[in-house]
């Protein structure tokens, strides 16, 4: 089973996804995809870690999610935007290659017998990116979101903290 939780910044995606994971399992896995870019980002990571108690197994994996054994587990992957950023940076902003690599990683984990709860952002619904790189990343995010949604069993759009089921 694959759940995709999407929405804008601070729309309640992570909280909803964490509650869903705890409804589905007494011991879910949390997969953090963030790189520690700077002290401010480290503070954000620390805050997110403090929100989860001892029921969670925490794994940090920047790109190669297929190296994780998801078999028979409920896993929350948070988040696609940070995960894609890692591909985008490492490919020197090559949208096609980033998309190809991310799709390949997702396809490997989707084959495992697991329940995946994937958090992503709808960054194309906000302000038009000011830079060329920003616009390229917005395209990458949009195409990956479409791919993930087409493979998900259930898709929930978070709007102002309210879950709106759009597929499933």
Stated length of the chain = 168
Stated pTM of the model: 0.91
Residue 110 · residue 152 · CB < 8 Å: no
Q: Catalytic site residues? A: 48
Rounded average pLDDT over 105-120: 95
- 121: enclosing H helix or E strand: none
> Which tokens go with 150?
């087409």
- 61: enclosing H helix or E strand: none
pLDDT of 42 above 90: no
Q: Tens of pLDDT along 114-135?
A: 999 999 999 988 777 889 999 9
pLDDT of 16 above 80: yes
């Amino acid at each position: 089973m694959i759940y995709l939780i999407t929405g804008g910044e601070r729309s309640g995606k992570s909280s909803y996804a964490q509650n869903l994971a705890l409804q589905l399992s007494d011991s879910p896995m949390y997969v953090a995809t963030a790189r520690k870019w700077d002290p401010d980002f480290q503070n954000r990571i620390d805050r997110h870690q403090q929100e989860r108690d001892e029921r969670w197994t925490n794994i940090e994996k920047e790109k190669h999610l297929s190296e994780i054994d998801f078999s028979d587990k409920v896993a929350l992957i948070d988040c696609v935007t940070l995960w894609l950023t890692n591909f985008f940076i490492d490919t020197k902003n090559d949208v096609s290659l980033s998309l190809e690599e991310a799709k390949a990683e997702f396809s490997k984990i989707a084959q495992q017998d697991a329940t995946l709860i994937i958090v992503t952002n709808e960054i194309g619904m906000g302000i038009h990116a000011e830079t060329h790189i920003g616009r390229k990343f917005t395209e990458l995010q949009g195409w990956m979101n479409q791919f993930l949604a087409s493979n998900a069993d259930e898709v929930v759009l978070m709007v102002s903290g309210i879950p709106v089921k759009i597929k499933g």
